[in-house]
Structure formats: C-alpha cells, structure tokens
Amino acid sequence: MNKSKLLTIIGSLVFFLSACHQESAESLLNKNLAGITQKLDNAIRANPAPNKIPRTIKGDGSLKTVNIYSWTSGFFAGNLWYMYALTNDNKWKTEAIKSTLPLDTIQYWNGNHDVGFMMYCSYGNGLKFANLQQFKPILIQTAKSLCERYNDTTKTIQSWNRGKSWDGETVWHYPVIIDNMMNLELLFEASLMSGDDSYAKIAIQHAETTMKYHYRDDYSCYHVVNYDTSTGKVLDRMTCQGFTDGSSWARGQAWGLYGYVLCYRYTKNPKYLKFAENIANYMLTHPNLPEDMVPYWDYNVVDEGLQPDWKYNASDYPLIPRDASAAAITCSALYELSGYSHHKSDYLKSADKIITSLASDSYLGNDPNNKFFILDHSVGSLPHGVEIDVPLVYADYYFLEALWRKKQIEEAMN
C-alpha cells in the first residue's frame, strides 16, 4: 500500500473516532430549531416590505433593514434557503422565494463587486436547493454585469468605485478588497451554466492577482489593495475595516480562506488547495485565537503596543469584541476544505469546535435584545464605529451553511 493511501485510511479512522464524540449537525439543529424558527419568523413578520431586508438590530432591539443595493441584500433569502435545505419544510421555500425575487434588477447592476453575495446567496441557492431553472439566466446576466468591473491591466475585478480611503487621506483609484474572492463562485457557476468559459477565466485571473498582491509571507492578507490602472502596479496596501494596515482583519482572513477553497472546488488546481491550507493554518494556529476559536474582530487587536493611526481607545472595549461572522465563514470553509485535504481530520475537528462554540449559549440565543437573528456577537466595522458586537445577517448565513455542510459530511459517512 502506498503512503498516501495509508495516510487517507488513518485520516478517515481518526475522523471516524473523533466524530463519535462530536455532536451531530442533526442534533445541533434540532436542539436550536425552535429558537431559530422563532427568530426568522419574527424577522419575516417585522419586515415591512419585501425590498427592506433584515441586516442587524438597532440599539433598542428593533430590526434594521437595507435596500436591495446593499452588499448584504441576498443573505436573508439565503438563510431561508438554508432552512429549507436543512429541514425540507416547504414553508421556508415559499418564504425564500418571496425574499429572492425582489433582487431581480440587481442582475443588471454593476455599481460594485458585491453582486456575487447578493445574487448567489439568493438566486444561486434557489437554483441549488429548489432546482428553479428560471434563475439560471438571471445568474448568468449577473456574472456579465460583474465582469464589466474587470480590468485587463490590473487583472482584477474592481471592488469599490474610485474614492477616498475611509480616513479621507488616500485616494483609492482602483480598490480591490479581499472580500471580492467571494464573488468568484458566481463566475465559476456562470461558466458551468452557460458553457462560456470567459467568466471562469476572469475568476482565475482575479484569484491569481490577489494571491500575488494581497497576501503576506505568513499567508495573512491585507484588506484593500489600491491599483494603478495605467500600469497595473500596486499603489497602496491598506485596511478599511481592520485595526491597522498591516494587521489581520478577522473577516478578511475568512473571506480569503473561503475564496481559495472555492477556487480549488472549481479548478482542482492543487496550488489553490495548498494556498487555502496555508491560510487555514495561519488562522488556526494564531497565538491570539481565543480558546473557543471565535476570533477577535482583528487578530492583532490584542498585540501589545500596536496602535492604529485612527482614534482608538482600548478602554472603550473592556471586553474585546469577537466576530462570530468571521468564525462562521471560517467554519463553513473548513468543512469544505476537509473534503479536499489530506489533513481532513484536523480541519473537521477545528470546524466542529467552531460550530460547537457558535451553537452554545455564548453566541446563540442568549441576548434578550436580539429577537431577529440566530447569532449574537459580530462586528461590522469597528473603525467606523458601526455594528459593534451585534447580530449580523451574514453571520447567520454562514452558520447555517456550515451546519448544512456538516450534515452532508455526516450523511455521506452513514
């Protein structure tokens, strides 16, 4: 027997033994189903119009909504699609369709790069879980709109439009953010659906450029890279939502991990698998990762003596905010990565530990002020002073996705 086969057998055995001690997805779901259902029902009832989409809560606990052009507009529909996938209850499918259809016009919109989030989490899941074939042309048109933001000199898709950095001191001519890796799923799928490989080619080129310019030697990444469109050169590497330009904003690391895992899913290029493993290892072995594996909003915020160049007063945060959204994205990505990697059991163990933390009283359902969302304790943007230690609709989305992926893995074993 060759070494690789032996390692695979040992890995499966270790996984099987550790899985025997791990609470199953079914059990995690069942134990929380009544609470989750209640919250989603509350959000559906409180949602005054289909194009006012739940995002978070205000200080008084009331629902804060966004319109269809927000980057988070597709997640609520996505949550309903995952509830349908997890429970098979048609009630969720009916509600998911109601929340998906108002996003229809986004297929023609190219105002920023976020259409992948907006349309793939909504329409993409409708196609995947309810086989709604009529969603295909809508997704292909969305991919077309996204590709209008591709530039052949920078060899990237532009994330935000030209503007100033958030502190107003730098002009971002052509900002690309790590989050953009998440939009590549839409492009890969559009190529599979249409037979036109131009979308996948753009996705691959974007991933290649991002690998080269967004990543540091230790496989952590910058948040924003600003390119010169006449030469394709990098002008600035900065942050917008992280602690410092050189720090590791937690959600950004998670977006990057998830992005390279999905690049491997579609290309089977071992380079992306190795890269994803390196990113995962950076995150999972980070000395500042708390014991429950739900990261601080930035991995470096607790570094002794590190001061950002914006007004930050550590005494405002006696408890440093965690970002459950970053943990949920990481968890979901790790479940997928475990299916590709020789280190299957390590990644599964880490993913199981994260989902156990998120499904515990510390993060799920313990805040009486939160009547609409599954998880507490996420951070939107601490430097901007917005959405600090609150529930966020996308934390719920990746949590449900992680639960669904865990369920798939467990069902495949039985």
Judged by CB, which is closer to ligand GLY: 275, or 398?
A: 398
- Would you give the distance in Å from CA 400 to the centre of its chain? 12
**Six token digits for residue 400:** 């449900």
Quote the crossing angle between the two packed helices 270-284 and 324-338, to the nearest 10°.
Answer: 140
Do the beta carbons of residue 376 and residue 319 sit within 8 Å? no
Judged by CB, which is closer to ligand GLY: 71, or 260?
A: 71
Taking the complex as a whole, how short is the minimal distance between the CB of residue 149 and ligand GLY, in angstroms?
15
Judged by CB, which is closer to ligand GLY: 125, or 241?
A: 241
Judged by CB, which is closer to ligand GLY: 71, or 373?
A: 71
CB atoms within 10 A of CB 104: 13
Do the beta carbons of residue 224 and residue 172 sit within 8 Å? yes
Do the beta carbons of residue 366 and residue 39 sit within 8 Å? no
Taking the complex as a whole, how short is the minimal distance between the CB of residue 203 and ligand GLY, in angstroms?
18
Catalytic residue among 60, 89, 114, 376: 114
Binding of ligand GLY at residue 179 (CB under 6 A)? Answer: yes
Judged by CB, which is closer to ligand GLY: 224, or 409?
A: 224
Show contacts with ligand GLY in window 236-275 (CB under 6 A): 241, 251
When CB distances to ligand GLY are compared, the closest residue is 179
Strand ranges, E, within 92-215 = 150-151, 156-157, 163-164, 171-172, 175-177
Question: Could you tell me which residues come within 8 angstroms of residue 242 by beta carbon, excluding any fewer than 6 positions away?
Answer: 223, 248, 249, 252, 298, 383
Judged by CB, which is closer to ligand GLY: 191, or 325?
A: 325
Q: Residue type for 141, please?
A: Q
Binding of ligand GLY at residue 396 (CB under 6 A)? Answer: no
Catalytic residue status for 367: no
Taking the complex as a whole, how short is the minimal distance between the CB of residue 7 and ligand GLY, in angstroms?
36
Taking the complex as a whole, how short is the minimal distance between the CB of residue 251 and ligand GLY, in angstroms?
5
Binding of ligand GLY at residue 336 (CB under 6 A)? Answer: no
Catalytic residue among 41, 152, 167, 179: 179
Distance between CA atoms of residues 198 and 147, nearest Å: 9
CA nearest 396: which of 321, 300, 332, 309? Answer: 332
Do the beta carbons of residue 103 and residue 66 sit within 8 Å? no
Taking the complex as a whole, how short is the minimal distance between the CB of residue 379 and ligand GLY, in angstroms?
9
Show contacts with ligand GLY in window 188-247 (CB under 6 A): 241
CA of 158: how far to CAs of 1, 115, 214, 240, in Å?
A: 49, 12, 14, 16
Judged by CB, which is closer to ligand GLY: 71, or 363?
A: 71
Distance between CA atoms of residues 86 and 410, nearest Å: 13
Which ranges in 299-343 belong to alpha helices (H)?
324-338
Distance between CA atoms of residues 205 and 224, nearest Å: 18
Do the beta carbons of residue 366 and residue 358 sit within 8 Å? no
Binding of ligand GLY at residue 71 (CB under 6 A)? Answer: yes
Taking the complex as a whole, how short is the minimal distance between the CB of residue 374 and ligand GLY, in angstroms?
18
Catalytic residue status for 179: yes
Binding of ligand GLY at residue 376 (CB under 6 A)? Answer: no
Taking the complex as a whole, how short is the minimal distance between the CB of residue 254 and ligand GLY, in angstroms?
9
Q: What is the DSSP letter of 414?
A: -
Show contacts with ligand GLY in window 87-106 (CB under 6 A): none
Residues with catalytic annotation?
114, 179
**Residues in touch with ligand GLY (CB under 6 A):** 71, 179, 241, 251
